[in-house]
A and B are shown apart, each in its own frame.
Chain A
Amino acid sequence: MALLSIQDLRVDFTTADGVIPAVKGLNCEIAAGECLGVVGESGSGKSQSFLAALGLLADNGTARGRVLFDGQDLLTLGQAEQNRIRGNVISMIFQDPLTALTPHLRIGDQMAEVLSQHRGISGAEAQKACLDWLDRVRIPEAKRRLRQYPHELSGGMRQRVMVAQAMLLSPRLLIADEPTTALDVTVQAEILDLIAGLQKEEGTAVALITHDMGVVARMCDRMLVMRLGEVVEEGATDAIFHAPQHDYTRLLIDAMPRLDRPDRTRPLTPVPEAAEVVLEARDVKVHFDMRVPGGLFGRTVALRAVDGVSLTLHQGETLGIVGESGCGKSTLARAVLELIPPTHGSVAWLGQSVDGLSKRQLVPRRKDLQIVFQDPLASLNPRMTISASIAEPLKTFQPGLTSKERKLRVVEIMERVGLEPALFNRYPHELSGGQNQRVGIARAMVNRPRLVICDEAVSALDVSIQAQVIGLLKDLQADLGMAMVFISHDLSVVREISHRIMVLYLGRVVELADRDAIYGAPQHPYTKSLISAVPIPDPRLERTRQRLRLPGELPSPLDPGAGLRFLPSRLASGQRDYVPRLDQVAPGHWVAEHDPLEAILAAG
């Protein structure tokens, strides 16, 4: 018999605009020890269904239907009975581990609360249970962590605490709502392995809610695909991936960029021979002064966000920059745009050095360099209509235009990026994320710049929208021939669009090569581990893949020895300030100096 059985679940939200159905009749079952993947894009109702099942809907939401857990209907239970079930036999892991942990409670107290609530265990006994679980989720120095606050832990570590807390009472069902979306790929791989391991050892059933087909391929036995509150397809993961029945499922699978299938990416427009150099950066460093405790007044330590990066970018070329959080990729982008003044090094735009120019002197040159931001909504002024936002660069650089000419230019670029002219007077919050990102692109493109920097420009978007936006950027590049710097943490997305790819690790380049070289024959262990951590949306392939796992957490840039993680021999001989050399192993393929893989694995 199924452990959880959801029958004809309907969720409605009452809003000022009337009743909005979020889930329109969901039927599904999860057996004990099974992992069910629930896939869908934003607004598909995948999270709301399970929140409703746990009685965690927002106040304006109502749930109808039946949610049978072990034969008991959860929707008919009172508040007290629901509380007894939540966290006890069913527990939940949320997307953002920082907001899901109470900031002023120590990790130990936070976890012990669950024990005292449901089992009446407290004191030393509770501490022992917590410690035991922290060990099981492989948190280093677990004892010390019990006394720490959530903000002192890294994102991956926090998510492990969440998993430990959720598993503390050995629940029979674990609901994981986008558990790895906010994490880096290598950390994601570890958390997923952890959940899979627990599922096997404890026999816990897992409902994995995600938008990432790759994650489902790796983890789930069965899956269901949701769209706009309805299930469009349900079945065994293998069957769905290899023979999707519904158009939407096919669209989702096709939209997912795949590292293992380079043949499926659209070809890039080749960079013309002898193209002009648009951007040149030499040995750029950005150091921030950080105040750390120590001494009477604390002392300052230089945080080396970017530590000696050089790059050259030609007209019509796209350079992809990848790396995990904290590697300095966004800081590098802002430094070459002189939005953050570099501490050291030189930058030249269109062949002219911009070192030492004042902000005012830079302004006229900014016309040719634009940036598209990660969060489409946050990068638009909420009080301006989208047309006013798009028109702003025109007002700045072509003040001579009449308002009619400006309006025409805006309508023209809106059409070019695929926005209906009817949206002219809309405000950002009235549009979808994908539409807002098109507005951001339109604003960047309206003056026909020579270089556009896309800082995680598609990371906040759904897969299908992501594919569209990348297609748009490629088209724009083919038409207008601008150069692009495409920053992302997602290696498969970067591959879709970039001619050359640069891998950053703690502010330094570890590998730089053409995209085929970097994915086909990665040289540096860090690049290899990044590539192997990306889940591939193909269940058969994904389960047989060998992963290269580097030991240890992603280190902090404040840690002085962290930069030499791939050179343990130098670290051992006490050369803490050694800067790894960049060697050219093949024409155009640069790799940072590193020890053999075995030595690195042994050192960890």
Chain B
Amino acid sequence: MAVTQYSKSLEDTAERLTERLSQAEAIRGRSLWFDARVRFFGNKAAVGALVVLILVIAFVLIGPSFAVWSNEEIDWGRMGDIATAGRPSIETGHYFGLDDLGRDLYSRTIQATGTSLLVGLVGAFVAVVIGTLYGAVSGYVGGWVDGAMMRAVDILIAVPYMFIIILLMVMFDRSFYMLFIGIGATSWLAMSRIVRGQTLSLRHREFVEAAQAGGVGGFTIIIRHILPNLLGVVVVYATLLVPEMILVESFISFLGLGVQEPATSLGRLISEGAGTIAYGTIWQLLVPLTFFLLTIISLFFIGDGLRDALDPKDR
């Protein structure tokens, strides 16, 4: 009897399914990402910041085609009197003026912004990916695995990161890639710590237990249930990491180990501009500083907007 009942209920189900088909078509599934996009674009400050960041990137990409001078050329005619002849001006082709050595600041700013953005974004990205996965796995698995993974982080944190980067730079050639590897290798440590702490508190939440009872695998639980709930913290921390990366890079460059002349970065330009502030060449500081601040502040706002957008509770 149970069998006939079951087959009858199957028939009913089939009937209902066809009936429901049109109705279900009308309901479009939404994902967290879709909702987040809608909410993000509803946030004026974040969208404004995104526009500014895109403009800065566009400046780096398109800017060179408007340049009269390259970033290496020295304007011998004006280098003797930078404070007056080297002012920003459209006629001379030095839109942002000259730097201390008589090079075109416009071209150098483009080059520097590009370098800094790359270092900052790539460094933060590496830190976020490695740090989040490492921390989430460590916190979720727990037990001796967690102990071992976190002690490894402790040991790495105990070694001064500058030391590691300098060693890497000295042992291998001083390339741009080595800089990424060096920064990426050290920056994820703090991230993994933060993520692990958050994961520990999420691990015993009932919805994770519900997923376990439902037979969902460990890795899927991390990806589907733990990570989305960590995003708020991760995004905010990542936007704080970008300026930190830019500053680390400028410090390494200052030591003579980072980006080599004639290539440059915003950190270097700012420090050079600050050094010549007494000679009446204030633009040498203001121009790179403006780009630095625009980038960082817009990243902060974007990070804030992302955090709000990724939290369905915040409306």
Contact = CB atoms under 8 A, between A and B. Distances in A.
Interface of A: 16, 337, 339, 362-364, 366-367, 369-371, 373-375, 378-385, 387-389, 392-393, 396-397, 403-404, 407-408, 411-412, 421-422, 424-425, 427, 429, 440, 443, 479, 481
A370 B23 contact: no
8 contacts: A366-B214, A366-B215, A370-B214, A379-B206, A392-B214, A396-B216, A407-B27, A425-B30
A481 B207 CA distance: 26
B210 A384 contact: no
A367 B32 CA distance: 26
Contact of A375 (B9, B16, B206): B206
B215 A378 contact: no
B210 A387 contact: no
Contacts of A412: 13, 16-17, 20
B209 A381 contact: no
A363 B218 CA distance: 11
B212 A339 contact: yes
B21 interface: yes
B42 interface: no
Nearest to A17: B315
B2 A383 contact: no
B228 interface: yes
A407 B29 contact: yes
B interface majority secondary structure: helix
Given A379-B207, A421-B27, A364 B228 contact: no
A403 B30 CA distance: 13
Contacts of B255: none
A411 B16 CA distance: 11
A501 B196 CA distance: 42
Contacts of A388: 29, 31
A371 B207 contact: no
B271 interface: no
Interface in B1-54: 2, 9, 13, 16-17, 20-21, 23-24, 27-32
Contact of B213 (A371, A407, A408): A371
> What is the size category of the interface that chain B forms with chain A?
35 or more
A371 B229 contact: no
Contacts of A421: 23-24, 27
Interface string B197-239: 0000000011101111111110010001100110100000000
Contact of A427 (B213, B231, B312): B312
B238 to A, nearest CB: 18
Contacts of A339: 209, 212-213
A71 B210 CA distance: 55
A411 B229 contact: no
B230 to A, nearest CB: 10
Contact of A393 (B2, B209, B215, B315): B215
A429 B211 CA distance: 19
Given A339-B212, A363-B215, A392-B214, A373 B206 contact: yes
Contact of A425 (B20, B29, B231, B310): B29
B312 A397 contact: no
A425 B27 contact: yes
Contacts of B20: 408, 411-412
Contacts of B16: 412
B24 A366 contact: no
Contact of A408 (B17, B217, B224, B229): B17
Contact of A378 (B9, B29, B205): B205
A397 B20 CA distance: 23
A362 B311 CA distance: 34
Given A379-B207, A412-B16, A412-B20, A366 B213 contact: yes
Contacts of B229: 381-383
Contacts of B220: 396
A365 B206 CA distance: 21
Contacts of B231: 383
Given A367-B215, A382-B229, A421-B23, 15 more contacts: A378-B205, A379-B209, A382-B312, A383-B311, A384-B225, A389-B207, A396-B214, A396-B217, A397-B215, A407-B29, A421-B27, A422-B27, A425-B27, A429-B312, A443-B214
